[in-house]
A = this chain, B = another copy of it.
Amino acid sequence: MDRRTALAGLSSLSIGAALGSLGDARAAHGSADRTPGKLRKLATEEAFTVPEVAEALRRVVRAGGSNLDLPVLATIYDAPAGTQPRFLSELLDVDERRIADMDRHGVDVQVLSLTAPGVQMFDADTATSLAIVANDRLAEIVRRHPARYAALASFAPQDPARAVKEMERSITHLKFNGFIVNSHTNSEYLDQPRYWPILEAAEALDAPLYIHPRAPSDGMAAPFRDYRLEGAAWGYGVETGTHAVRLMLSGVLDRFPRLKIVLGHMGEALPFWMWRLDFMAAPGARAAGRTNQLKPSEYFQRNFTITTSGVEDPLALRYCIDKIGADSIMWAIDYPYQPTAPAVSFIESAPMSEADRDRIAYKNAERIFRVTARA
């Protein structure tokens, strides 16, 4: 693994600049020669599934409809006869190839979560039951490999009261490290009062809520139905970023000030938008009627942490370190959707101080997901 791999996504124009910054960062911080493999690495957005959920998703795909997650789900859970289902065997495996991949690349811990869209496309009863099944199975996986895995709990937002029960069980009984939710549920968002018990529970249990992408909700889907725009290239980020902005501008974070939210994909571009968000959406800003207590950047600093999943760009990481601080950033691979090797090369070679590298590679994840105490 060399530096070129980590920089492969940069345009030729910017490689020189990135290498220049690398030189600066090393000169400034005096540490250049970390042996690859010695950096402890906790990967924080790593996907798995269980056969019961895979089978239920196959039924969802076969039922059809206009939901924009269906095209991708079809390629994973209902691949045409004779074709290889994408990612499915990797998602189902936790004991063999996954750990071999971690060992090969020096990944110490994966924080596992049920892959998107989780249980959020099922009816409320099925979703509630399958969240329990998936969490029980995940607890067994962590018991088998306590030093290699941590766990984010699934829940069914379709039934907030039962979701809260499962959230409590997963933290107090199963000793999980946080929660995962896949953006909208039936085109509704967590700022809507019906979902406030979920936010309240996450805050009360003092466990972070990872808002993972899914395709744009029905009410914003139309322009994303062409050219595969609905997926990871564009729609996921628009959907999840919009969800996060709703949480900031709704004022719901004034009600749950200690809620910890995690966003992947370098914060779904919110750090890049922060100046404009503040200018246009601060309390008392020119758009009248803003009653939120804080500016968007203040909510972001207080309530949000981001991960690097799917954005292995040294310049974007540099921007985020300077904008929101290295304490608010965690490394991720997005296994098995992204290859492990370049994600590892990225965190091992991207220009930053070695203190920041330790924070982003593992220390922040240990603190925020309380991983050390369990392993």
Contact = CB atoms under 8 A, between A and B. Distances in A.
A371 interface: no
A262 to B, nearest CB: 17
A216 B216 CA distance: 13
Contacts of A184: 223
Given A322-B315, A324-B14, A233 B217 contact: no
B276 A232 contact: yes
Contact of A13 (B229, B312, B324): B324
A154 to B, nearest CB: 23
Contacts of A250: 226-227
Contacts of A319: 272, 315-316, 318-319
Nearest to A244: B234
Contacts of A297: 9, 11
Contact of A222 (B217, B290, B312, B318): B217
Contacts of A21: 322
A246 B226 contact: yes
A22 to B, nearest CB: 12
Contacts of A310: 276, 279-280
A313 B224 contact: no
Contacts of A245: 229, 233-234
Contacts of A298: 11
A242 B81 CA distance: 34
Interface size class of A (residues with CB under 8 A): 35 or more
A275 B217 contact: no
Contacts of A272: 266, 269, 272, 316, 319
A50 interface: no
A280 B233 CA distance: 5
A253 B24 CA distance: 38
A249 B228 contact: yes
A97 to B, nearest CB: 18
Contacts of A220: 216, 219-224
A298 B275 CA distance: 27
A118 interface: no
A187 interface: yes
27 contacts: A11-B298, A11-B301, A11-B324, A13-B324, A14-B324, A17-B322, A184-B223, A187-B222, A220-B221, A220-B223, A220-B224, A223-B242, A229-B246, A232-B276, A233-B245, A234-B273, A237-B273, A238-B238, A272-B272, A272-B316, A273-B311, A275-B312, A280-B310, A315-B319, A315-B322, A316-B319, A319-B319
Interface of A: 9-11, 13-14, 17-18, 21, 24, 86, 184, 187, 189, 191, 216-224, 226-229, 231-234, 237-238, 241-243, 245-246, 249-251, 265-266, 269, 272-281, 286-287, 289-290, 296-298, 301, 310-313, 315-316, 318-319, 321-325, 338
